[in-house]
Amino acid sequence: MSATILDGTKIANEIRAEVAAEVKTMAYAGVRPGLAVLLVGHNPASEIYVRGKVKACEQVGLHSEQHTPPESVTTDELLAFVESLNRRDDIDGILVQLPLPAQVDSKKVLMAVDPAKDVDGFHPVNVGFLSTQRPGLVPCTPAGVMEILKRSQIPVAGREAVVVGRSDIVGKPAAMLLLNANATVTVCHSKTHDLPGVCRRADILVAAIGRAGMVTRDFVKPGATVIDVGMNKVTDAAEFARLFAGNAKREEAFRAKGSTLVGDVHPEVVEVAGAITPVPGGVGPLTIAMLMFNTVKAAKMRRGSGVPELANS
């Protein structure tokens, strides 16, 4: 028996449609939420990602701006620029695309973003709001994970959830959201004793460690829901064979391109899990959809109007 595939693209499209309707309603009141993206230098992966964000904004009717300071920018120059965006009333969300160049103090720049405009949900104020279950802006990827679970009718309350990875961007906030939704949560990392054994307890397993195919079938309890947050580029032939041996279609594509994308979960897990997110097409599309949602949420919270609710939340 093969796992049910949880279609992240379909869920992301539902959320985008809901956000677009919300933006239209706000337009009648003369408000158009705005997002400013700060992209320093020329990192090709970041440029592709930012292009996707800007295009998504246009599609749902949000105002968006892309600012591209030179690679040589100083911390002080960036701080001054962030401050100018903080002051602008037409900008509701500020997104600083990481990584920043080595000479820039990234933490200082992220801390300078007004928490009310922090659509990434990284500011300690928003982290504190999440921790104490107060309204705030929640990191996009973990928020997307929760939407997948809700919209796929996967119960969370009372379930055992295991999060593999403790990053500030995904692991910790995902654990907090699951805890807030009444799951019993364990957070694992590189120092966890008997990692497969701990993971096998999970009804819901969230893999966010950034290591290609690390979660194999012996990590997964039969019938568990597996959410794969990883996005790893595999270029090594031996590594490819470990993950996709015998998959003729993948082999042909790998030979043609010289690379393939794989999550943190080994493809064999599909034979054990009850439900699983694919890579690509799982959590990834939700990250941008939730960024759109957060921009609208920030616009409403800043103006003191009702915070939007997603249809299936």
Write out pLDDT tens, residues 219-242.
999 999 999 999 999 999 999 999
Q: Alpha carbon of 47 to those of 50, 68, 75, 122, 246: distances in Å? A: 5, 10, 21, 21, 35
Name the pLDDT band for 310 (thresholds 50, 70, 90).
low
Compute the mean pLDDT over every residue in the chain, rounded to the nearest whole number.
Answer: 94
Active site residues: 53, 97, 120
145-186 pLDDT, tens digit per residue, is 999 999 999 999 999 999 999 999 999 999 999 999 999 999
Please give the residue that has the higher pLDDT: either 159 or 42. Answer: 159
Domains of the chain: 29-114 (3.40.50.10860), 140-285 (3.40.50.720)
17-40 pLDDT, tens digit per residue, is 999 999 999 999 899 999 999 999
The reported pTM is: 0.94
Determine if the peptide bond prior to 115 is cis (ω within 30°).
no
- On whether the CB atoms of residues 240 and 260 are closer than 8 A, the answer is yes
Cα 136 to Cα 81: distance, rounded to the nearest angstrom:
24
